[in-house]
Chain A
Amino acid sequence: MSSNGVSLSGLVQPDRVHRSLYVDAEIFEREIDQIFGRAWLYVGHESQVPNPGDYITTQLARQPVIMVRHSDGSIRVLHNRCAHHGSMIAGDRCGHVESLFTCMYHGWTFRTDGSLVGVPVPEDYEGTGFDVRNPRNGLGRVTRVHNYRGFVFASLAAEGPEFTAFAAGALTGFDNMIDRAPDGVEVAGDCFRVIQHSNWKIFLENMFDNVHPRIVHQSSARGAKNAQQRFPAGAANHVSLETFQLLALDQSFMQRLEIDNYPWGHSNMSGFVSPRGEDAESLAYEAVLRERHGKERAEQILSRNFHHTMLYPSAVLQPSFQQLRIVKPLAVDRTQIDIWLFRLKGAPKIVFRKALSYAIGANSPSNMVSADDFESYYRVHQGLAGPGSEWVVLSRQMGRDLVEDGTVRTRVGSSEASQRNQFQAWRRYMTDENGDPR
């Protein structure tokens, strides 16, 4: 496949990428199959399906799926498509069935492992070659499913790396959030669902762009500063206001950030907002963690502060603020982001209040920060639609990274090492039919 006469592989160069990666609809369709159709994608969290028969629905690449708790307690990922005529078996975002799914169209029934139980007029199929008495003729199953400490991931590819080998260093971010919870984590309510009018990759690149904040978010920072001077309350629900002000500090503040990048396009970035507090509730929480983990281990967990952990291409986690953003590309210029909040069970309320303040302020449909990010994504996408100028430059701090065992480390926040790493993974997904990035 080619675009403007350039091979796909040639569209990603060490220091720049071609504009068609963002705006070419054919390339987008190929990404859905080659990247989203093969990578390990986030499906859901086990706390959403606590009891047998509980389910949620979502979509992986082009495939609608049901994540359901089976009667044996395991979590299954099934195609949300009747084995008969194709109707979605579950029409809502979540629900519960008493042991069987029943198709609303012709009444075919299935167990929560997908196996076929019954059809309305079984004799219709006698001698036709379709065996309605074989339970295996049921719902399609996603066989490569991994439950990582409660977080359920799936890959639609028949073969590929195991989940833990794929996720590699990105797991340290998930571990950190889970380890912060005295009694485990759970999803807190429903998610925010927002649309960006831009290509999905523009969003993931921006997660690790530490030059834009003081330009793009200057108005939010000034607004927050003036508001706090006028209403100096300093409650937990003003964590967002304190954070906004950090976005517009001198560039030297962002330069301190460290980013580690891994083979399948994943990245970890250190944090610039500490979730720790000196108030009684926060100190009591730290005491509980010390009780659970021991003093040394608890300090290790609490002092490890990630801003973002990205599991390319579908998930961006903010471990310190218990927020998980899921990328769902809808079209070349249209991207849905689902934003989930998690509760650290056993932690005092203030921990969740801070996460909530941060999430509503920065990422909800009403947010005061991403509104300007979305504007920049939109303008980037529109700018790149023009054919006259072809390349996007990604060479900040190029050649100054530390490479150890396949991990690319940068100790200068403004480096575009993550963006370059994302596109190296992109190139391998898109050009290697086996899907092996190394």
Chain B
Amino acid sequence: MVPLSWYIMLSAVMFSIGVFGFLARRNLIIIFMSIELMLNSVNISLVAFSHYLQSMRGQILVFFVIAVAAAEAAIGLAILIAYYKNNPTIKVDEITGLKG
């Protein structure tokens, strides 16, 4: 049996890779994938905790997260396409119409 801490470590590493990808990559699609990676790392830790605690709450939350992530992907890609129609680029460095 794999101990709980391994799952938590895996989840933490995946989450960190996701955060790094979000901050360091310059392609919107890759950034979007990094966000999905972060969400799925959370799912791993939720399922691991749920199994360890013998409680269903974590697994219920995982289903909601998966459903919401699907909705999020639909809206996110729609926004991306709306942007691409006016401005054909997906490089973050070229999206500078609004100065921060």
Bound pair: A and B? Answer: no
